[in-house]
Amino acid sequence: MSAPESSQAEDAYFASNAPPKQLAAHTALAEAFITQHAAANRRVVLVTSGGTTVPLEKNTVRFIDNFSAGTRGATSAEYFLSAGYAVIFLHRQFSLLPYSRHYSHSTDCLLDLLEEDSDGRVAVRPSDSDRILDVLRKYQSARRNNMLLLLPFVTIGDYLHELRAVARLMAPLGASGLLYLAAAVSDFFVPPERLSEHKIQSTNIVEKLYPKDTPSPSPQIEDEETFDNFDASPRVPRSKRLIIDLDPVPKFLKSLVEGWAPLGMIVSFKLETDPRILVHKARYSLERYQHHLVIGNLLSTRKWEVVFVAPGREDRWLRVARHGGWGDAEGRPLRPDEVPEGDPEQEIEALIIPAVAELHDDHIAKSSSVEKK
């Protein structure tokens, strides 16, 4: 697709997919946050995190989801805060959050860390006190200094509207703005004109209640008697199947790089499940969008190894110790001497964020030397 065609596709997408209700409120919060930290000469990073949903109905009962618990984003946000960045955390509602992630969902349920003392008051179990205190101090410091702004999204449409708005607000930061896109973003969606108003039905009861000449609230429903000619040997009549027809989501990375935040450093993640194609897909994405870094990861090993693919640089694997076997870029097990030793508790984001920050230093230095010329 040529540049004008892709910007037309983008305009059409934003014109026909309504923004989330909270967009104006989120934009105001982000603007105040960015202004405050820019005035203090602090670096600002936008971290996106969690999966986007693709609703199948306007009154949504069912949706398609992209895999992501939000661990990568929430953990990365903590390390960015430790490195002195102010963090805008654009995350899927109810996915993991920086700091609280340590004590939520199934890991370390907060209630299991508490006990009742002899006066009937709630107290932290002494054996857990130190590690909670460490997290609590960091959390309170981030809150006290207004270093962390939490902005939730749910659908792919919400995400794209929010991303565009925040990226545009970050544009004046120039090279010191960093966009770190760890959210798992759907490539496909149901456009509004094909979206059923109400819950998709599995029987034609609605057609019976609403005769043919009244508008049906559920356009997908077909007559029970209609038989499938969709494939050669249908096992189930088409009227009983749900066939979902998805359009591609416009390639928003192109707009980010070319229009929304053209001077900022843009880091995207590439998720694959087949080790043989990971590096090629990451390189392809970099060449296509001309941004600054793609961090490749495999679903099965994402917590222990990632690969940095950047223009003009060798691919660089980062690894932390883990339980179990290793795969290299081609999926072959590593030799024992290649397997990193060390603390199996170490989080890979402890390596990723300093390495990204170093590339960000270079990005800023390059852009200021271009300005001087």
Comparing CB distances to ligand 9Z3, the nearer of 173 and 181 is 181
Beta strands, E only, the chain: 44-49, 53-55, 63-65, 86-92, 114-116, 122-124, 148-153, 177-181, 188-189, 247-248, 265-272, 293-298, 305-309, 316-319
The rounded radius of gyration (Å) of the Cα atoms in the chain is: 24
Q: Six-digit token pair at 125?
A: 């179990």
- Which of residues 200 and 351 has its CB atom nearest to ligand 9Z3 in the complex? 351
Q: Give me the DSSP letters along 26-62.
A: HHHHHHHHHHHHHHTT--EEEEEESBPEEESBSS-S-
Minimum Å gap between C-beta 208 and ligand 9Z3 is 42
- Residue-by-residue DSSP string for 318-343: EE---SS----TTSPPPPGGGSPPS-
Q: Kindly tell me which of 50 and 55 has the beta carbon lying closer to ligand 9Z3.
A: 50
Contact 264, 175 (CB under 8 A): yes
* Residue 85 or 269 having the CB closest to ligand 9Z3: 269
Distance, CA of 114 to CA of 98 (rounded, Å): 21
Shortest distance, position 273 Cβ to ligand 9Z3, whole Å: 10
State the nearest-atom distance from the C-beta of 201 to ligand 9Z3, in Å: 32
Q: Provide, rounded to whole angstroms, the least separation between the CB of residue 70 and ligand 9Z3.
A: 5
Smallest distance, Å, CB 269 to ligand 9Z3? Answer: 3
Of 176, 163, 187, 179, nearest to 268 by C-alpha is: 179
Q: How far apart are the first and last CA of the chain?
A: 34
Residue 7 CB, nearest approach to ligand 9Z3 (Å): 19
Q: Which is nearer to ligand 9Z3, 33 or 55 (CB)?
A: 55
Question: What are 202's strand-pairing partners?
Answer: none
Residues that bind ligand 9Z3 (CB under 6 A): 68-72, 181-182, 184-185, 268-271, 297, 302
Question: Shortest gap between Cβ of 30 and ligand 9Z3 (angstroms)?
Answer: 20
Question: How do beta strands 188-189 and 247-248 pair?
Answer: antiparallel
Q: Which is nearer to ligand 9Z3, 88 or 305 (CB)?
A: 305
Nearer to ligand 9Z3, 65 or 362 (CB): 65
